Amino acid sequence: MNVNFINPFLASLLNVLETMANMKLTPGKPNLKQDNIAKGDVSGLIGMVGPQTKGSLSITFEAPLILEIMHKMLGEKPQNINEEITDLVGELTNMVTGGAKKLLGEKGYNFEMATPVVVSGKAHTIAHKSDGQKIVMPFSSEFGNAYIEICFER
């Protein structure tokens, strides 16, 4: 995994949430994922296919955090993960990946995005199955944690 691949995704999530929801997350240290420790309640996943590489991205939110993001963006706060929330997670997944795609395209790394899929289920785990290294980027906030995981094939 080229380290140049990490920062565009990290910067894109921070930018999207600050712009859309006036929400500041604190990024932790990106690390190589050794096991499936990033547990969350709702995740957006998207596939990426390019001439040099292919891979997958997931963004996982703990429920209180995504509910607060919805509250800040739309003024309403559902009690649990409903279809509005999964729609929002799908949109955020598209926006974050699209922002990183633009930044990486400027560096000569190009890929196309598939369409996002959103998984709901209490404390589910995600395993990216490709030959490449898995990078997990943790984010924290007073409302809960989020994780981006990316994996590109060598």
100 within 8 A of 109, measured Cβ to Cβ: no
CB of residue 29 to its own copies, shortest distance in Å: 23
Tell me the three state secondary structure of residue 133: coil
116 versus 138: smaller Cβ distance to its own copies: 116
Chain residues 23-42 in contact with its own copies, contact rule CB under 8 A: 35-36
Q: Which stretch binds its own copies (CB under 8 A): 19-27, 66-74, 124-132, 139-147?
A: 124-132
Residue from 54, 95, 103, 140 touching its own copies (CB under 8 A): that is 54
Identity of the residue numbered 94: N
Question: What is the rounded distance in angstroms from the CA atom of residue 130 to the CA atom of residue 154?
Answer: 9
Q: Convert 63-91 to b/e letters by CB count within 10 Å (16 or more is b).
A: bebbbbbbeebeeeeeeebeeebbebbbb
Our finding on whether 114 is near its own copies (CB under 8 A) is yes
Q: Does 105 bind its own copies (CB under 8 A)?
A: no
Nearest residue to 6 via CA among 88, 118, 107, 117: 107
Positions that interact with its own copies (CB under 8 A): 35-36, 43-49, 54-56, 58, 83, 86-87, 90-91, 93-94, 112-130, 132, 151, 153
